[in-house]
Structure 1
Amino acid sequence: MQDPRGPSGARDRFEALYLAHYLAIHRYVLRRTESPDDIADVIAETFLVAWRRLDSVPAGEATVLWLYGAARRVLANHRRGESRRTALASRLRDELAAGRGTMPAHSQAEAVHTAFATLTPAEREVLALAYWEQLTGPQIAKVLNCSSTAARLRLYRARKRLTRLLETTDEFHVISVLRGETR
């Protein structure tokens, strides 16, 4: 006879617990949440708790009550997490909207925005790292996983291309600002 606390005994006990009580836990969670994804997540997390604490799960009729308690706590944690994620998303939306509202609405800003948007994603990224994140050449190289020389070359080419795009719209001073020069 195998030791019930051994790997095979634990697996067998868990499988029996899962098969016997899955439907009850599914119904419990289904009545308390609306999203099918949330239902699956909460059920999976509940049985994960049961697996991790298998030695604490009582036998007999008390098993389902223990699982209901675990599901209740998992649901509470899930709701708190969802609440935090919703609050964070709302705050980020507000901050982004406020950031857009402070940007000048004149033609210079539109010209820079249009020119920047026409750059390749790689060019936009290297410029954003340099000007928005204020990273140095070696730091940009680490982010892009390339040599410092390659990072400087990419930055140089992206600046040059942006300059060409802006020269066609007569926005020389914007490039000076991007380069950190003052006239």
Structure 2
Amino acid sequence: MEPLDHRKRRFAEIYAACHDPVLGYVMRRTENGHDAADVLAETFLIAWRRLDDVPTGDGARPWLYGVARRVLANHRRGERRRTALGDRLRADLEVSVQAIEDREASGAVADAFRGLSEDDRELLSLVGWEGLDAGQIATVLGCSRNAVRIRLHRARKRFARALADREAREARETRAETHHHARIAKGEHA
């Protein structure tokens, strides 16, 4: 193996001579600049690791094209796997979300919960859905355990108040509807 200074100098020469042509090669074969930058970086990383295999002179550029071609192929395979996984996860999530929405879409509890502030919903969700204790919630929220206990107590009180208000309103609406139907049944009109 060559001394490090010689290796660095040789790599710098190859990089300077081949960067622009390899970048053009990669850009013509990728969808966006981010992908091109990733492929280009990986290509030159491989060239550094395998510097002893890089041909001298005019042979370096075609050798780098070959490396870039293989990196592109790996990148495309990875992208297809990520896309397939993303599609699968979206489909699974859609089913899960729909089931939750169907289960929670209506009713006083869901309405009361949706009426809370974002902070209260998050706090109650961390307890109810994620099953976290005050110490774990403190870590998630970046505050003290005592602050979590206080916030949780207040959030629960607001939720209980909102739920009681919703249930009272539903009860009044039900009584009014029942009274209206009773009047219609007796032949009275509203």
Which of the five TM-score ranges fits, normalised by the shorter chain? 0.7 to 0.9
Give CA deviations for 1:9-63 in whole Å, capped at 9, x if unaligned: 3332222111211232123213322222212221122112222332332322332
1:119 aligns with 2:117: yes
| Equivalence for 1:106 | 106
CA distance in 2: counterparts of 1:52 and 1:133, whole angstroms: 45
More helix by share: 2
Counterpart AA for 1:94:
A
Gaps of 5+ in 2: 169-190
Match of 2:25 in 1: 28
For residues 94 and 112 of structure 2, the distance between their equivalents in structure 1, rounded to whole angstroms, comes to 19
Structure 1: any 5+ residue segments left out of the alignment?
172-183
- Residue 84 (structure 1) aligns with: 81
Alignment of 1:34-53 (within 5 A): 34-53=31-50
8 Å contact 2:109–2:163 — kept in the other structure?
Answer: no
State the percentage of identical aligned residues.
48
Deviations 1:154-175 (A, max 9, x none): 222222222233332228xxxx
TM-score by length of 2: 0.72
Q: What is the distance in 2 between the residues matched to 1:83 and 1:54?
A: 30
153-162 vs 143-152, which moves further: 143-152
TM-score normalised by the chain length of structure 1 = 0.74
Deviation at 1:93, TM superposition (A): 1.8
Report the secondary structure of 1:149's partner residue. Answer: helix
Q: Once superposed, what is the RMSD of the aligned Cα atoms? A: 2.6
Is 2:17 aligned against 1:10? no
Do 2:113 and 2:159's aligned partners in 1 also have CA atoms closer than 8 Å? no
Moved more, 98-107 or 125-134: 98-107
State the alpha-carbon separation in 2 of the partners of residues 75 and 37 from structure 1. 13
